[in-house]
Amino acid sequence: MNKPACSGTFYHIFVHSFCDANGDGIGDLRGILSRLDYLEALGIEGLWLSPIHPSASYHKYDILDFYAVDPAFGTMADLEELVAQCHRRGIRVILDLIQNCSSRNHPAFRKALADPDAPERRWYWFDDTPDAAEFDRKSLWNNFPSWHTAENGTRYIGIYSKEMPDFNFHDPGIRRECKNVARFWLEKGIDGFRLDSAMHLFSSSEVDSGVSYHGLNIEWWVEFREFCRSIRPDCYLIGEVWTEPGERALYYRGLDSTFHFYLGNAIEAVIKGSLSPTVFSRQLESACRCARLVSETYLDAPFLSNHDMCRFAETTGFDRQDLKLSAAIYLTLEGIPFVYYGEELGMAPLPEDQCPQFPPEDYLARSRTAFPWTEGRCAFRFPKGCRCDGPEIQERDPDSLLMFYRRLIHLRRACEALRYGRWQSGECGPSLLRYRMAWGEKAAEICHNLSPQPIPVSGSEGTPLDLMTGRPPLRDENDRWILLPKHSLIFYK
């Protein structure tokens, strides 16, 4: 069988808050460079960097220049060195590529506002845009107004906020510009893109009543992937498609991967007992079936949480064994898993803590603050600290969450059934989640005990390994393997 074009575990870095190399309190590219030994030891084979382009915001999604590096994060030379050093270590680097919108202070938008005859006028949705003639001017997106009024009285669409006017992808000019941006970064050595808001280039506010926006989005991604492949055949494209599996699967027509949204919620529910292992297994089976109907080469992207969610450790209650069990589930599923920075530590703030550098109403600040390095820690942090030990402490504890992540990610790298395989449902019980990963003749069987009681199990794929201890399990009087409470076994040859 052919191996997928991309594999391995990726690490998602919110650059602003990961590691500060120059002491100004803001994370930067040289900070990431200084931590490559840590990432390599973790077993990471890919980095997703949050937006690095010039922007007035801390999150950098309202971009002022798509061809530059924000000076707060470093220089173009810093990025080139980071990419080169990562490649020497076998680590891919993908950038967060924003094609849905720009900053309202981007030169193209300012020109479009000032001159109705400028070509850039057609890049955006204005009141006089012919494609928008029938749109509902009072439409809402996620309960927020889609239409905004500029200082000169011109109205425009910005589904995320008035600071981020949406591009109109009906216009060939903006399509060419987005391809030019992609070419620029691919030729810099970037290995691909995480495509922000991939299902909202055309949103529900940007199509006529009764028209599906998904088809318009997917048509663009087919065109865009073909273009990127012409520059770099191994370019990896993963889309943010935040919807249920049936709709998400449609995007495999134009993308290599889509993030498995709601998986973290399901894992939390099955561990806490509000979702049965059988139903959890059926949900996974349905997601795989939908994806296969669109593309045989699809690559799922399981994850627990990201920069737009509360930290997984916070929502699950900080129990270390639950966090290990959650990791044991999502890191043994098919596709390319993504680890959000600090997830391997159980990083999360105390429930009552608030980061003073973020507005109190910005709940996302709870997932975007400083990684707890001893040195190089960013200023954006919670006063009472993260509810976890830092990496320097966890590296000295063989039973820590960090060391568990390391062991499991390296096992995934070495076991081809986990690294390349497809998921197959197994025989589950009231407290037993069981499934199989298969790639050609290579197979692994994984069992998770969700209960506080031991469960006897047997397997057909060789000698088992207890993922929590890194050792073979004990046997009972009937010569069955003992799966300890909240532990996981893998059977593989």
Active site residues: 196, 240
User: Are 306 and 264 contacting, i.e. CB atoms less than 8 angstroms apart?
Assistant: no
Q: Residue type at 165?
A: P
Strand, coil or helix: 42: helix
Tokens at 431, concatenated: 């407290």
Task: Give the angle subtended at the CA of 399 by the CAs of 41 and 15, to the nearest 5°.
Answer: 40
With both helix axes pointing from N to C terminus, report the angle between 277-294 and 263-272 in degrees, rounded to the nearest 10. Answer: 160
Tokens at 127, concatenated: 């009141």
User: What Rg, from alpha-carbon coordinates, does the chain have?
Assistant: 23
Task: Give the angle subtended at the CA of 188 by the CAs of 186 and 192, to the nearest 5°.
Answer: 30
Report in angstroms the alpha-carbon separations of 391 from 64, 183, 244, 268, 374.
35, 37, 35, 24, 8
Of 311, 316, 411, 421, nearest to 370 (Cα)?
311
Alpha-carbon span 104 to 122, nearest angstrom: 15
Of 229, 238, 342, nearest to 300 (Cα)?
238
* DSSP strands (E only) in 297-450: 299-301, 338-340, 422-425, 432-439, 442-449
Alpha-carbon span 319 to 24, nearest angstrom: 34
Distance of CA 137 to the CA centre of its chain: 33
Q: What is the DSSP string of 90-151?
A: T-EEEEEE--SB--TTSHHHHHHHH-TTSGGGGGB-BTT-GGGTTS-TT-EETTEESEEE-T
Q: What is the DSSP string of 142-166?
A: TTEESEEE-TTS-EEE-SS-TTSPB
Q: What is the DSSP string of 351-383?
A: TT---TTS-TT-GGGGGSS----SSS--S---T
